[in-house]
Homo-oligomer: A and B are copies of this chain.
Amino acid sequence: MANNNLSLDTAFYALSDPTRRAVISRLLRRSAPVKELAEPFKMGLPSFLKHLRVLEESGFIVTEKIGRTRTCRVRVERLEEAENWLSEQRKLWQAATDRLAHYVEEQMPGDGTDD
């Protein structure tokens, strides 16, 4: 549970930045070299590399160096973890609204079929 919590902490933290979300979206289409990934962003390479490091440390991406090119690919499992937590929350909410609807129904006067 503690490990799972830590894992969600780093996952959601990684997703809290627009550059990092854009990199994830880009890599979900196709793996890419760092240089190509950095191009669309209006920031220096050192700043961009910091974002890549956060993504790598949080397990969202894996990088591999072949010759002089470092290529990044996304780990879709990490997105699924975050999505699973959110969908569990939706179930809690659904259960609570179902209970409320049931309660309201019970408080309503009968529809007269017993009269």
Contact = CB atoms under 8 A, between A and B. Distances in A.
Interface stretch (A9-17, A39-47, A107-115): A9-17
A8 B21 contact: yes
A25 B1 CA distance: 15
A29 B83 contact: no
How often does this chain occur in the complex, in copies? 2
26 contacts: A5-B18, A5-B21, A8-B21, A11-B16, A12-B13, A12-B15, A12-B16, A13-B16, A21-B85, A24-B89, A25-B92, A28-B89, A28-B92, A28-B93, A28-B96, A29-B92, A29-B95, A29-B96, A30-B96, A74-B93, A76-B90, A79-B89, A79-B90, A83-B86, A83-B90, A86-B86
